Amino acid sequence: MRKPVIGVRNLPFPLTQGPSAWHQFEGNPVARIASSPRRRLAPACAGVAGMPGRLSVGVQAMPGCGPGYHPAMSIILTPFARPRLFPREPRANTIRDCTPAQFERHLNTRAPLKELDGYAPFCKLHVHRNWTSTRCLTVPITDGNRHLLRSAYEARTKDELPVLVRWFEGVEPPVAEYLVVILYSAEQLAKEGAPIDGDWGVVGCMYTMTPDETPMAPITMMRNALGVEEGGSGVPLDRAAYARAVDFWERNANWRP
């Protein structure tokens, strides 16, 4: 692939090549150039001119540099995640007071508090402070609520085999402090037969009280190890991660209204 020619005017700092280089002005990192074949980015600081052709150039601002946040990647809500996070008939245990379009726009215009590495190189987690009334996704299991646990065999989609799941009924957890958005790369989604017109796709979201990842359910790890044909990602089973997941999910469960 040919390197794009970048047209820049009136920038108060020298440019270096590379999409992830932070540029210095008077000793402070102020912006980085981002090239994207899929999306034209609005400039956050004066002086960046769009280049001709498919490939356009924009600037991602550091906090305090220019109005708004302009990510160097586009984030798309996938068809897999949309009905799970935003069902046609809203439920109390899904994202509240926010439409799918508003959710997607927030992810593309607001910087996450932090980015975490996922369980594989193609997976990233963006941690956002909860701007909705969405409640926590999990509830600790105690002697006082254990009798409210329910279980059944269920499939996530019509193409997947049912697996045993359990959940609470008759509980109401607090409003979450954070939304931890699970992202897959476009390359991985294409491999799984779900291509997107963007750089990263939302495949799920965790609603938590801390800015940390909730361990993946053990059955999800098993499904991933089975491969794409069975609805997984093809990532081999990590026995240590599996043991940590069992420890968490033995003491916690999701809930349903």
Domain residue spans of the chain: 7-61, 75-256
Q: Give tens-digit pLDDT for 105-161.
A: 999 999 999 999 999 999 999 999 999 999 999 999 999 999 999 999 999 888 889
Residue closest to 207 by CA, chosen among 183, 244, 181, 245: 181
Q: What helix, strand, coil percent values describe the chain, rounded to 5?
A: 20, 30, 50
CATH architecture of 75-256: 2-Layer Sandwich (3.30)
The C-alpha atoms of residue 222 and residue 217 are separated, in whole angstroms, by: 9
* Residue 112 pLDDT: 97
Distance, CA of 253 to CA of 241 (rounded, Å): 18
Tokens 């279980």: give the residue: 151
Strands 149-154 and 163-169: antiparallel
Beta bridge partners of 37: none
In the three-class reduction of DSSP (H, G, I as helix; E, B as strand; rest coil), residue 256 is classed as: strand
> Residue 104 in contact with residue 77, Cβ under 8 Å?
yes
Going by their DSSP bridges, the two strands 28-36 and 22-25 should be labelled as: antiparallel
Q: Rounded to whole angstroms, how far apart are CA atoms 195 and 19?
A: 23
Q: How far is CA 34 from the centre of its chain?
A: 20
Cα 187 → chain centroid: 15
Given a cut of 50, the residues of the chain with pLDDT beneath it are 1-68, 70
Among residues 181, 182, 201, the alpha carbon closest in space to that of 191 is found at 201
b/e 74-100 (16+ beta carbons within 10 angstroms → b): bbbbbebbeeebbeeeeeebbbbebee
Which of 11, 49, 18, 54 is closest to 36 using CA atoms?
A: 54
